[in-house]
Structure 1
Amino acid sequence: MMFQSGTNYGETSTVFHRIIMKLQPQNQQKMKKLNKIFLLVFLLFVQFNFAQDSLKLSANEFISIVKNYHPLALKYQLQNKIATAEITQARGGFDPVLGGKLGEKNIDGTNYYKQKNLELGIPTWYGIDIHGGYNYIEGDKLSNTETVGGLYQFGVTIPLAKNLLYDKRRAMLDQAKFAQKMTEAEQAVLTNELLLDAENKYLEWVQNYEIYKLKTEIIDINRERLKLTIKTFEYGEKPAIDTIEALSQLQSFELQQRDAFLTFVKTTQELQLFLWKENQQVYELSQMIYPSDDLTNNLAYTDYEFLINDVESRQISSHLSILYYNQKQNILESERRLKWQSFLPKVDFTYNFFNKENYKADYLPLFDNNFQYGLKLEIPIFQREARANYQIAKIKLNQNELDTNYKIRELDTKIETYKNEILNYRTQIDLSENNLKNYERLLSAEETRYSNGESSLFLINSRENKVIEAQEKFISIRTKFLKSFNKLKWMKENFTL
């Protein structure tokens, strides 16, 4: 930032010295006060201007940077990839499993056994497991249950009660699919909230910049007024006290300008938190940046009614926040179905068909030759765990329904609040603009009276202060209107088509 002096202090000091000498016979106390003011001229009367090698940044460019490079935006995108990977993980429960075994046991020259085994298991969607394999075994110390030589096996395991209609594998896959949609909805809402924060921070930045420019412009006006007042004093047309009045007003605005510039720099630093480059590199500002947009030329002033009508026409159930809770409800319902399976007895039927190597297969009848079957039954007596888990699953469903109803009410309230803010601030803009014009007319009239010798510089300064206050209020109301517009705009982005 370049700092430049905007006043010729050598010339000004000579004039004020003559003023002080003229007032000395009148009042010694006034002279001491003037000396203090004269010192403040050199301490505080410094005008700083913008560097010429500055950068301009528009709102669209800024939002594009945030969307593409901000760590949180990228984090949300990665979260969606995690949800997709979890679906693949859940599908792994249905992957065929290929296994093999090779072994031999020999002690003191006795060949206990020599074995080769190859198996393939295929889980299916409805809880039925299909398996097949080939087993070769030979040896001198085999069990009576072992079949010497090669043996082919094909079998199936069927749940007849528990896990037949629904089981953990199907539940995990269903829940992973619901979780993906749930994550996509959540991350979209979070991303839009990030972009809303970024765009409103940009508006604050523009507001502080325009206030700073306002203070700079009024300083230029008051500097010229001070020069004119000094000349009129030298010609004997105005009293010496008018020069002090003009100087005090100028110094007051210079102090305000310094404070406005400090606020603008602070907002620039806060804006930098949203600025990132590729490969997650921090965007370090080597020079000052300034907004290329302003608060006046914005489509919001003409589009706000269309936006309100658009949002009001949307179904609240299509909001991504509601879709998030709907998908969560699906996950909890899947968990409830799974817990309900615990009430059923576990009855598993297993059938295996065998065929010895180099023998002709004799498939039918199934229970006549070369087969093995089993029937396994498990029934929890008190069902305490099943009843507790099922009750918990139902309570979680009720909790989510309450959360959904509350979220719907919250969204309705937000939409109504944002709509009222927009309409209210739009009305305030017109009132504030008219108020500003009236203060400007009063100031112009007071300046005319002053030139005719009918007013004083004190009254002009008072009118001018009112104009500055009205201008700052006007800028503030515009910012509030645009912020409220952004809130509703990004709310609309959270609705699905």
Structure 2
Amino acid sequence: MKNRSRIIIIFTLLFSQLFSAQDSLRISAQEFIAIVKAYHPLAIKYQLQNSIAESEITRARGNFDPVLGGKLGEKNIDGVQYYRQKNLELGIPTWYGIDLTASYNYLDGEKINNSDTKGGLYQFGITIPLAKNLLYDKRRAMLEQAKYALKMTEAEQAVLTNDLLLEAENTYWEWVKNFEIYRLQQRAVAINKSRLELTKRTYEFGERPAIDTVEAASQLQSFQLQERDAFLNFVKSTQDLQLFLWKDNQEMYDMTAMIYPADRMHNSEAYSNFEMLVQHMEAQDPDRHLSVLYYFQKGNILESEKRLKWQSFLPKLDFTYNFFNKENYQADYLPLFDNNFQYGLKLEIPVFQREAKANYQIAKIKIEQNALDTQVKRREIETKIQTYKNEILNYHSQIDIARNNLTNYQRLLQAEETRYSNGESSLFLINSRENKMIDAQEKFILLNNKFLKSYNKLKWMKENFQF
């Protein structure tokens, strides 16, 4: 509850600014993920699914609830009272398939059956399955399967929630990437505006040819077009981000102000934590992954179903014993088969057992199918871990190369500008160096984004392991 209250406070502080006079709002990755986890309809839906599974257990336990019943009746024709009856009964099912009953029955009248007993009669009874349903029955199977189903649902919903948060976080960093590219193009436009003004002045002083102003203007226009395109990409990614922003009443937020990221890619914890994460995931047992545990629990349900189907091969042999005692009579319990008793023995044996054989065979095949699904899922998890690990290490090494490459392009541009100021170069060469440097900067941003996305995939997969 404390964590939920803290998230609500964060959410209120963040979005109260949307309706104020401020022009923009900044949100960090951590705040964004907290909002998605607390308010996104899918995250709430997954939580509700767990509640449904818990209710299924309660419903299955209802099969073991005692049942209290009563009956009151009378028949009277032409002034003749055929019968007058009052009955109160309690049935108690037990875990081992044994049913206990207790009742009080009062019966009176002028035309009742000879086998009925007039007056008040107490009855205590027991029904015991001697073959089928003795070791296992539908009531026990339903309760066991409901418990396994809850664990299945919890595993499934945890994986789905983490997948949602992974998608949300990668959407956030895609948004950051587009913002940084947009800022990169903004700086390029600002630099080239200043360069154009300087070129115009030097031309007016007769220091540069007129063609240099055309070269500077062309370069500026090229970057202005790229800036507009970068801004459009940033706006589109902002709209994608908005799909994950919801109020606590499950209504989407309509942005009334521009929103900007509070985090930058180079400040992410991924750069300092990725080696530890890779080492941690290499030591993970795929059988501890929630997706595999889901199939384990499903296997438990199928094994329970197979046990239940096996009961159909047994003959149905039920023994019932009832002890009676008339009202106002002293009870005489022993011996059980001496007086005031009723017993019955019921036997049923399917002749060909075709239904039982078919049901049992189907149950076995489903178990085999689940085992195959488990193997596929286990292999899929191992492959994903290896793929994400390789991506992280590869992109990180590429980032180092790209950083050095970018530094070299920056030095070349600075050297070309120095030569230009000494009259040893041209504006065309400066623009060429600058274009390559901007391309290198953009590629550097894209590589960092790929690295972060791969890191997030492995990070959220880590959350799917049970420790």
2:424 is aligned to 454
> Could you tell me which residue of structure 1 aligns to residue 282 of structure 2?
312
Q: Give me the whole-angstrom Cα distance separating, in 1, the residues matched to 2:264 and 2:461.
A: 23
**Given the alignment of the two structures, is residue 276 of structure 1 paired with residue 246 of structure 2, yes or no?**
yes
Residue 342 of structure 1 pairs with residue 312 of structure 2:
yes
Which runs of 5 or more structure 2 residues have no equivalent in the other structure?
Answer: 1-20
Pick the aligned partner of 2:433 from 438, 463, 469: 463
Give the structure 2 partner of residue 207 of structure 1: 177
Counterparts of 1:21-420 in structure 2 under 5 Å? 53-420=23-390
Tell me, in whole angstroms, the C-alpha distance in 1 between the residues paired with 2:447 and 2:321. 79
**SS in structure 2 of the partner of residue 324 of structure 1:** helix
Q: Distance in 1 between matches of 2:462 and 2:55?
A: 30
Q: Tell me, in whole angstroms, the C-alpha distance in 1 between the residues paired with 2:233 and 2:41.
A: 26
The reply to whether residue 434 of structure 1 matches residue 404 of structure 2 is yes
Amino acid across the alignment from 2:425:
S
Select which of 423, 427, 431 maps to 2:393. 423
Q: Does 1:491 align with 2:461?
A: yes
Q: 1:52 to 1:429 in 2, by over 3 A?
A: farther
Deviations 1:243-291 (A, max 9, x none): 0110010011001000000000000001000000111121111100000
Q: Secondary structure of the residue that 1:296 maps to in structure 2?
A: helix
Letter in 1 for 2:220: L
Q: Which runs of 4+ in 1 moved over 6 A?
A: none
What is the distance in 2 between the residues matched to 1:300 and 1:58?
A: 15
Following the alignment from structure 2 to structure 1, what is the Cα–Cα distance between the partners of residues 317 and 22?
A: 83
Q: 5+ residue gaps in structure 1?
A: 1-50
Residue identity in the other structure for 1:84? E
**Worse overlay, 454-463 or 252-261:** 454-463
For residues 320-346 of structure 1, give each alpha carbon's deviation from its aligned partner in whole angstroms, at most 9, with x where no partner exists. 111101000000000000000000000
State the alpha-carbon separation in 1 of the partners of residues 279 and 200 from structure 2.
59
CA RMSD of aligned residues (A): 0.8
Q: CA deviation at 1:445?
A: 1.3
Q: What is the one-letter code of the residue matched to 1:210?
A: E
Please identify, of 306-315 and 207-216, the stretch whose mean Cα deviation from structure 2 is larger: 306-315
Residue 153 of structure 1: SS of its match in structure 2?
strand
In 1: Cα distance, 2:182 partner to 2:442 partner: 10
1:484 partner SS: helix
* Paired amino acid for 1:220: A
Q: Give 1:52 shift.
A: 6.6
In structure 2, what is the Cα distance between the partners aligned to 1:254 and 1:130? 86
Give identity over the alignment, percent: 73
How many equivalent residue pairs? 447
Look up the SS of the partner of 2:339 in the other structure: coil
Provide the rounded CA distance (Å) in 2 between the counterparts of 1:487 and 1:74: 22
Aligned AA (1:153): Q
Amino acid at match of 2:239: Q
Aligned partners of 2:249, 2:343: CA distance in 1, in Å?
61
Deviation at 1:224, TM superposition (A): 0.5
* Paired AA for residue 140 in structure 2: R
SS at match of 1:274: coil
TM-score, normalised relative to structure 2 = 0.95
User: The residue matched to 2:147 in structure 1 has which SS?
Assistant: helix
Distance (Å, rounded) in 2 between the aligned partners of 1:331 and 1:357: 49
1:360 is paired with a residue of what secondary structure? coil
Distance 2:282 2:61 in 1: 41
Instruction: Provide the residue aligned with 1:474 in structure 2.
Output: 444
Give the whole-Å Cα distance in 2 for the aligned partners of 1:429 and 1:286.
37
Name the SS for the 2:435 alignment partner: helix
For 1:358 and 1:416, locate their aligned partners in 2 and report how far apart those are by CA, in whole Å: 81
Shift of 1:212: 0.3
What corresponds to 1:18 in structure 2?
Answer: none
Cα distance between partner residues in 2 of 1:402 and 1:120: 48
Between the aligned partners of 2:335 and 2:421, the Cα distance in structure 1 is 122
Deviations 1:423-481 (A, max 9, x none): 00000000000111111111111111211222111111111100010000000000110
Quote the Cα distance in structure 1 between the aligned partners of 2:82 and 2:198: 120
Q: Give, in whole Å, the separation in 2 of the partners of 1:100 and 1:233.
A: 109
Whole-angstrom CA distance in 2 between matches of 1:477 and 1:297: 15
Deviation per CA, 1:336-369: give whole Å up to 9, x if none. Answer: 0000000000000000000000111111111111
Rounded to whole Å, the distance in 2 between the matches of 1:348 and 1:127 is 10
The structure with the largest alpha-carbon Rg is 1
How far off is 1:294 after superposition?
0.3
- Summarize deviations over 1:88-138 as a string: whole Å, max 9, x none: 000000000000000000000000000000000000000000001000000
Paired with 2:223 and 2:284, the residues of 1 have a C-alpha distance of: 49
